């Protein structure tokens, strides 16, 4: 186990967990509690053994950077589809999540965002398209090994008959 206890110059006790693979350090994280450091270390080791480990630093890039890379891969789709993808990204997804580190998105945040689009007046079809665009971007992030899973995959799209605020 490589959890080390140390004291900060201010007298605070901290615990550093270092993960090694093939003789080199691949990840380090500091915790206030030893049990948190041990739990994190065990999870990272489990992922390494299963071949699911992704360097946590790769998930710190903003979603906007991943989206730009994804948009560049859309060359094989029709021009109108590419334009719709870009417009949906810029109008709906980027304002909410563009600056977020890609690994910090959660399923709950995405579900809340989709619901807020409809209650703010967007048509359910627009919210569905925005969710589809985010899913595609996050699929790209998974393929690029920036995150281990697509947090938008399980979020349900709004029903076509969902009411917007102010409608009877």
Range of the domain at 17: 3-53
Q: What value does the mean pLDDT of the chain take?
A: 90
User: Above pLDDT 90, what percent of the chain?
Assistant: 70
For residue 148, is it within any domain? Answer: no
Q: Are residues 75 and 41 in the same domain?
A: no
SS3 content of the chain, % helix, strand, coil (to 5): 55, 15, 30
Q: Are residues 72 and 96 in the same domain?
A: yes
Q: Are residues 44 and 78 in the same domain?
A: no
State the Cα angle at 29 between 25 and 30, rounded to 5°.
135
Please give the model's pTM, rounded to 2 decimal places.
0.74
Q: SS3 for 16?
A: strand
Q: Are residues 22 and 74 in the same domain?
A: no
For residue 110, is it within any domain? Answer: yes
Q: Are residues 48 and 109 in the same domain?
A: no
Q: Are residues 40 and 67 in the same domain?
A: no
Measured between alpha carbons, how far is 119 from 164 in angstroms, rounded to an integer?
Answer: 5
- Side-chain half-sphere CA neighbours of 137 within 13 A: 28
- 18 beta partners: 28
Please name the helix (run of DSSP H) or strand (run of DSSP E) that holds residue 129, with its range, or none: helix 124-143
CA nearest neighbour of 36 among 5, 63, 70:
5
pLDDT in tens, 85-118: 999 999 999 999 999 999 999 999 999 999 999 9
**Residue at token pair 């997804």:** 93
Measured between alpha carbons, how far is 127 from 114 in angstroms, rounded to an integer?
Answer: 6
- Residues with Cβ within 8 Å of residue 94, at least 6 apart in sequence: 63, 64, 67
Determine which of 11-25, 71-85, 110-124, 145-159 has the lowest per-residue pLDDT on average. 11-25
For residue 158, is it within any domain? Answer: no
pLDDT in tens, 21-65: 777 788 888 999 999 999 999 988 888 888 777 777 888 999 999
Q: Are residues 44 and 67 in the same domain?
A: no
Tell me the pLDDT band of 168, cut-offs 50, 70 and 90. very low
For residue 80, is it within any domain? Answer: yes
Q: What is the CA radius of gyration of the chain?
A: 20
- 21 beta partners: 24
> How many independent structural domains does the chain possess?
2
CATH number, domain at 81? Answer: 1.10.150.130
For residue 166, is it within any domain? Answer: no
Q: Are residues 64 and 139 in the same domain?
A: yes
CA nearest neighbour of 134 among 162, 106, 166:
106
For residue 105, is it within any domain? Answer: yes
């Amino acid at each position: 186990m490589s959890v080390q206890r140390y004291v900060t110059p201010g007298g605070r006790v901290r615990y550093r967990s270092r993960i090694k693979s093939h003789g080199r350090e691949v990840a380090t994280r500091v915790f206030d509690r030893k049990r948190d450091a041990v739990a994190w270390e065990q999870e990272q080791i489990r992922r390494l053994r299963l071949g699911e480990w992704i360097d946590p630093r790769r998930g710190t890039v903003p979603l906007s950077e991943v989206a730009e890379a994804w948009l560049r891969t859309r060359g094989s789709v029709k021009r109108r589809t590419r334009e719709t993808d870009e417009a949906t990204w810029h109008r709906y997804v980027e304002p909410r999540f563009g600056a977020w580190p890609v690994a910090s998105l959660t399923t709950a945040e995405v579900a809340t965002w989709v619901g807020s689009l409809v209650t703010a007046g967007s048509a359910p079809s627009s919210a569905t398209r925005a969710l589809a665009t985010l899913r595609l971007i996050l699929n790209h992030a998974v393929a690029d090994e920036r995150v281990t899973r697509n947090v938008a995959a399980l979020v349900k799209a709004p029903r076509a008959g969902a009411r917007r605020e102010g409608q009877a």
